[in-house]
Amino acid sequence: MWSKEICLRFHPAWESNPGPLVTSALTNSCRAPTNCSPTPLSGVVSYHWLCQLSSCVTINWVCSHRSYNFLALNLFSTFQNNCPRKTHQNLVYVAQMAAVLRGEYNDVVSRTYIIDCRYPYEYEGGHIEGSLNLHKADSVINYFLKEPIVPVFRDQRIILIFHCEFSYVRGPKMCRLLREEDRNVNKYPKLHYPELYILKGGYKAFFLQFMRYCNPPEYCPMDHEDYQEEMLKLRKKSKSWAGERRRRDLISRLGMAKCM
């Protein structure tokens, strides 16, 4: 069993940025859970100490040794299920995303889906190679839940990595939506996709460091002056869909209440 000190010693940030080795996932945006005891997975690392920290932390780089990276990431599903919250500690760094694209985790990950939640004009102006442009909630649900994807081998995994321009609103929101819908169609604690992650810093952060993995190697901001009208139309459609979904959820809850 690895100790907290050993895990921190192997944190890769030590080489490039000496200082705090465990960083706040969303500064001042969340507090540590008070009732939380995530079970260590596969006997690889003891994560109990994470619950004692004063803020949510990024956990994907707890152990830099390549054989532990995605095993460590698997903590998210357990941690989230025991301690539900709206904020996210399931962050994937841009360097790790690049490693995924290079195929460095193909032996432990069956398939990786990179979901780009930006608007079409942003995606067409430059996106991560192999990413899917699913900016509408119903598109994400239909793609992943209409016919759920299963891994090729039982001991391998399917991971989904969401992002938007900065991974601040659209990416995390879509990630939460898929988790909620996945939970609704399964009997707890089963999930079709237990491993959902968010690219820290979004497309912009990735583009600035790994332009060679972008196609085309360009970056179109959401608020680009040439697409102001299209942006407003897409925002309006998104809000309309969100309102309709809330209405359906309310009707569903009322129906369940009557049956009780």
Closest listed residue to residue 41, CA positions, set 73, 86, 9: 73
Which 3 state secondary structure label does DSSP give 142?
Answer: helix
Q: Residue-wise over 215-253: b if at least 16 C-beta within 10 A, else e?
A: eeeebbebeeeebeeebeebeeebeeeeeeeeeeeeeee
Indicate if 7 belongs to the active site: no
Contact between 50 and 89 under an 8 Å Cβ cutoff? The reply is no
Selecting among 7, 164, 175, 220, the annotated active-site residue is 164
Which 3 state secondary structure label does DSSP give 58?
Answer: coil
Amino acid identity, position 55: S
Closest listed residue to residue 178, CA positions, set 152, 160, 154: 160
**Interatomic CA distance for residues 150 and 166, integer angstroms:** 29
Token pair belonging to 224: 């680009």
Which of the residues are catalytic? Answer: 164
